[in-house]
Structure 1
Amino acid sequence: MTERLVLLDSNSLIYRAFFAVPPLTTTKGELANATFGFASILLKSLEQTTPQHIAAAFDLPIPTFRHEREATYKATRRPMPDELRPQFERVKQLLEKFGVPMYSLPGYEADDIIGALARQAEAKGLETIIVSGDLDPLQLVSPLVKLMTTRQGFQNTVIYDEEMIRQRYGLRPDQMVDFKALKGDTTDNIPGVPGVGDKTAAKLIAEHATLEGVYADLSGYTPRLREALAANKEQVFKSRELATIVTELPVTLELERTRRTTYDRAAVLELFRDLEFRSLVPRLPPADQNLAAPAPGQPQHTVARGGQLQLGLEPAPSVAPPVETALMADADEVAGAVRAAGALAVHADVDSSGRHPALVGIGLVAGDRAWYLPTLDGVPAPIAAVLLDDAIVKTAHDAKTARRALRRAGADLAGLAMDTMIASYLVNASRRYHALEDLAAERLKLEVPVLPVPDRKDPLRAPTLDDRLARAGAGATAAARLGEQFAVELERLGLERLYRDVELPLVDVLVEMEEAGIAVDLAYLRSLGEEFAREVARIEREAYAAVGHDFAINSPKQLQSLLFEELKLPRGRRTGTGFSTDATVLEELRGAHPVIEKILEYREIEKLRSTYAEGLGGLVDPETRRVHTTFDQTVAATGRLSSRGPNLQNIPIRTPLG
């Protein structure tokens, strides 16, 4: 089998992510959009290409040989934004924890290093996938080298091979440098021939093979093109030199360093949790990366050779071993063991995709033993009795959801002494999330596996019994150990009474409230929706009359054009697509033009119509004819309840219409 090498064009990917991914700020105030984008494309390249080898290349913050040859090279680029600089260090931390070697070389760019490594890999018979945020490496494509690059933002990728280049440009990979020299590259400030764009450049190179062929006889071109080519001949050939990736460099591809073996998954998880990259955690490969590779030898430490920087695997920190969980076979035997222990940690395996939480299984931990019980046939009587026995002290994480799921399965939970989600909230109310897997990783160095979910690559993906068993056992174990820690902290912080007398009893109240639901008069809602629709139509007509023509009142782009270009009203803050037309900006413009009042009035009534008059009807449970919202007591830092699915606390009751 041909082995595969992935080469990461790090600077290109980081810059691309910084400008393509919306600003993502952690609860600590750290901007992490470029780091998130890089991590996402790294995981995607591992998922899609399953390489046996991987390496990353970086530019150095010093001039290269191209700057020495041409002082204007990249001269139009702005300095690196201050908020991007720390993200480069975060990316390097991520690569180090993944065990990815990092290469850089004074006087050369990452493209050159990638070119050199790709050619060395080619000579060794390896297939190479270059992962970049731009198309500069197209010139390196060969039967064994492909380019994976982003398109349409940062979410989608495309892989270019020789045929793909031919289909898009009508050229061979080795002709891409001449193509670029003719058309120029504004990003790198490489000038081309004025008036020659992509189509003309591709046509010229396709017909004449090379720049030399293009210039061999200028008489066949139109006068304007002939004049432009002749006037810029010297510059075009200089541009070709600047655009050519150098592949003969003093860097060495050492396959024992680039080989993917084990990596420090726990350290990557800790970094992801510090950066709050929760959506990326399920995409992490297992610690052994599921590769048929030789076992790793001694850890490779930093080595500098020939100007290159390479970082290998570091020894893994101490982490808790995986929890051994047994599939429950004898309910009576397990119930007896739980009663003997006198304490029980419970993890409810819940399917939350429907209107109500549905119990799929239960993870139980008593002492040092862990079990998992699938509950498709209900909860066995001996286990149901143990769960209802309030003499047995219970610990759970998010007991409210667990109780709702248990009740719908014909069981319930009594004797709850510790809800670790509530305890975590009281200990640190400013924390945005209190997910069990996060708390377990941070406090216990214990991984609670995340269940796989469907995605675009595998829309039918579903957790297996083994997946559920592993998560439930680890989850119950984590709850038990966290419960011991939080009990001490609540006492130390003087919060034990608040927890015991207010927050924990509130769980029982919220369970009943969520199960009872809120009655909705559907007939009245329909009537209200019709009334709002008439009001919306009236306001639209009056808004059109105020400016003398129709416009898309819901379109931010058309509103920008109307307000700031046509009506010349004062502009607010700039956004990525122009100038903001949000409520804050419009409130500041009240009185500046009659249409402003109409737009604000339209938005208020349209929200009531779409979100409540029409939206609530679709959320009514057909069995109970009620809306069953979820009340959260661990979200608002002020200690108040919040609600979701739907949010019933957002109805503007202080306005006449609300």
Structure 2
Amino acid sequence: MEAITTTDVAAVQRGNVLLVDGMALLFRGFYANSYGGYIRKTSDGTPTNAIFGFVKYLLDAIKTFKPTHVICCWDMGSQTFRTEKFTNYKANRPDAPLELIPQFDLVKEVVSSFGIPNVGIVGYEADDCIGTLSRKFGANLGHDVHVLTGDHDMLQLVTDRVKVIIMKKGASNYAVYDPATLLAEKQLTALQFIDLKGLIGDTSDNYPGVKGIGEKTAVKLLLEHGSIDGIVENLELLTKSVKAKIEADLEMLHLCRELATIYCEAPVDCAIEEAVWSPDYRTVHDKFTELEFNSLVKEIERLTAVS
């Protein structure tokens, strides 16, 4: 871990805000650090493998993208406004591994030790918090925003001000999407990603889309008609087979589009002043020592000359 230069935010008119998908990093950290069933634990038996991985991912991203501000967003339980709309939403998800459960609260303590705000609200997903804050800091306040995640659903948030960083396999391996790269690589605009999910569904989130419509057909339809609304308005122009499939699942199509849409007006907020990236490394050192992250403690001692 290298020293990270802190920007004097007061002297910078436009900030660079990093919005972190906390669960995405934590789950990735858990599975990346459970080789052959081995789980890193403290001497009192507290599992910490997911947190260790989380910290490594977080610091690498901060070193790479050099934010002036950092905020971490979290899911706050499985029941949200989406499960009220569709009871099977994410109902296929297995329970979290037992060793991961105590790390949910501990990781937030680690985040706080860096001076990073933890943001989440019951009834909404982390995606909705990230979407809401990305609009606030991007469109409304004129900052540059980077969203750090492994979830391609976040691509719908891409704008001229908001870039989405998809974590790929391997250390320091990122795909960064702005409107131009999104269009060049995926053929679709950010908003069309919502309609794509409405058409094909999402097996991970457990909503079906239109039965019999795959990604290739869905992309073709969106390129030809622009949106779900455009497709529905031009049903008579579709092949007999595709028309029949959409008509049979029209109600589900509209519901799945709602489920796929990240809600960007969630009742959540975080003042930009609270998110300045300016950690007190002595506080971090104490938390790493508590969690017995010996290799990271040595790096913190080097940075702060703690003896």
Structure 2 counterpart of 1:58: 74
- Bigger relative contact order, structure 1 or 2, given CA contacts below 8 A and separation 6+? 2
The CA distance in 1 between the partners of 2:198 and 2:68, in whole Å, is 35
Contact 1:97/1:268, CA 8 A, preserved across alignment: yes
Q: Residue 25 of structure 1 is aligned with which of 27, 40, 49?
A: 40
Structure 1 counterpart of 2:232: 215
The CA distance in 1 between the partners of 2:162 and 2:297, in whole Å, is 30
Alignment of 1:218-257 (within 5 A): 218-257=235-274
Contact 1:20/1:153, CA 8 A, preserved across alignment: no
The CA distance in 1 between the partners of 2:145 and 2:113, in whole Å, is 22
Larger radius of gyration: 1
The residue identity in structure 1 corresponding to 2:90 is K
Structure 1 counterpart of 2:4: none
The residue identity in structure 2 corresponding to 1:213 is G
The residue identity in structure 2 corresponding to 1:3 is G
After TM superposition, the score normalised by the length of structure 1 is 0.42
Structure 2 counterpart of 1:84: 100
Q: 3-state SS of the aligned residue for 1:85?
A: coil
Q: Residue 202 of structure 1 is aligned with which of 203, 215, 219?
A: 219
Structure 1 counterpart of 2:164: 147
Contact 2:207/2:256, CA 8 A, preserved across alignment: yes
Q: Residue 187 of structure 2 is aligned with which of 170, 193, 198?
A: 170
Call closer, same or farther: CA 1:206–1:20 in 2, change over 3 Å.
Answer: farther
The CA distance in 2 between the partners of 1:22 and 1:168, in whole Å, is 33
Structure 1 counterpart of 2:20: 8
Alignment of 1:61-460 (within 5 A): 61=77, 63-122=79-138, 123-152=140-169, 156-261=173-278, 263-280=279-296, 447=301, 449=302
The CA distance in 1 between the partners of 2:154 and 2:80, in whole Å, is 18
Call closer, same or farther: CA 1:133–1:21 in 2, change over 3 Å.
Answer: farther
The CA distance in 1 between the partners of 2:228 and 2:299, in whole Å, is 46
Contact 1:7/1:130, CA 8 A, preserved across alignment: yes
Structure 1, gaps ≥5 residues long: 285-446, 451-469, 479-658
The CA distance in 1 between the partners of 2:186 and 2:221, in whole Å, is 11
Contact 1:9/1:110, CA 8 A, preserved across alignment: yes
Q: CA deviation at 1:209?
A: 0.8
Call closer, same or farther: CA 1:201–1:248 in 2, change over 3 Å.
Answer: same
Structure 2, gaps ≥5 residues long: 1-11
Structure 1 counterpart of 2:58: 42
Residue-by-residue CA offset, 1:317-371 (whole Å, 9 max, x unaligned): xxxxxxxxxxxxxxxxxxxxxxxxxxxxxxxxxxxxxxxxxxxxxxxxxxxxxxx
Residue-by-residue CA offset, 1:85-136 (whole Å, 9 max, x unaligned): 1111221111110011111112111111111111110211101111112112
Q: CA deviation at 1:251?
A: 2.2
The residue identity in structure 2 corresponding to 1:187 is S
Call closer, same or farther: CA 1:84–1:260 in 2, change over 3 Å.
Answer: same
Structure 2 counterpart of 1:364: none
Residue-by-residue CA offset, 1:520-567 (whole Å, 9 max, x unaligned): xxxxxxxxxxxxxxxxxxxxxxxxxxxxxxxxxxxxxxxxxxxxxxxx
Question: How many equivalent residue pairs?
Answer: 290
**How well do the aligned residues superpose, as a CA RMSD in angstroms?**
2.3
Q: CA deviation at 1:14?
A: 1.5
Contact 1:16/1:154, CA 8 A, preserved across alignment: no
After TM superposition, the score normalised by the length of structure 2 is 0.86
Call closer, same or farther: CA 1:244–1:38 in 2, change over 3 Å.
Answer: same
The CA distance in 2 between the partners of 1:103 and 1:153, in whole Å, is 27
Call closer, same or farther: CA 1:20–1:76 in 2, change over 3 Å.
Answer: same
The CA distance in 2 between the partners of 1:184 and 1:283, in whole Å, is 45
